[in-house]
Homo-oligomer: A and B are copies of this chain.
Amino acid sequence: MKLTEAEWAVMNVVWERRSAVAREVLEAVEGRTGWAYTTVKTVMSRLVDKGALKGRKRGNTVVFEPLISREQARRSAVRSLLDRAFDGAFGSFVQHMLTQEKLSSKDRLELERMLAELEPRPPRSRKEASR
């Protein structure tokens, strides 16, 4: 599932709240984007068309919920970046991250912590069931 920039902005809001109506999404992104209400609606319709959202009519309005998980979308975004920009090679990607991107030491610590945590034996995160 490939999402456009605008679609990410919308999906991020819906994922965060687990479900949302158009106006909520608008309010959440308005500051950054300056979109009109109808713009949000259009983007959301397209997301329904492409199977990323499902809308359920409740009275007058439509409540949207995600049909794809954030992790799923993230995976394919990462995959796609790796393929087009890093020859699909994880190694060159990591190399890039560590040498080219300016990581704050906080970032680096985070990275370490996670590695360490993962190191002894892949500990399942406590939040297990996520397809």
Contacts and interface: CB of A to CB of B under 8 A. Distances in A.
Given A8-B85, A84-B5, A94 B75 contact: no
Contact of A96 (B71, B105, B120): B71
A115 B65 CA distance: 39
Copies of this protein in the assembly total 2
B99 A125 contact: yes
Interface of A is mostly: helix
A90 B77 contact: no
How many interface residues does chain A have, given as a range?
A: 35 or more
Interface stretch (A18-26, A48-56, A106-114): A106-114
Contact of A95 (B73, B77, B114): B114
Contacts of A94: 107, 110-111, 114
Interface of A: 5, 8-9, 12, 71, 73-75, 77-78, 81, 84-87, 90-91, 94-101, 103-105, 107-108, 110-112, 114-115, 117-120, 125
27 contacts: A9-B84, A12-B87, A71-B100, A74-B85, A74-B86, A74-B96, A74-B100, A75-B96, A75-B101, A77-B85, A78-B96, A78-B97, A78-B101, A90-B101, A90-B103, A90-B104, A91-B110, A94-B107, A94-B110, A95-B114, A99-B114, A99-B118, A105-B120, A108-B115, A108-B119, A111-B115, A112-B115
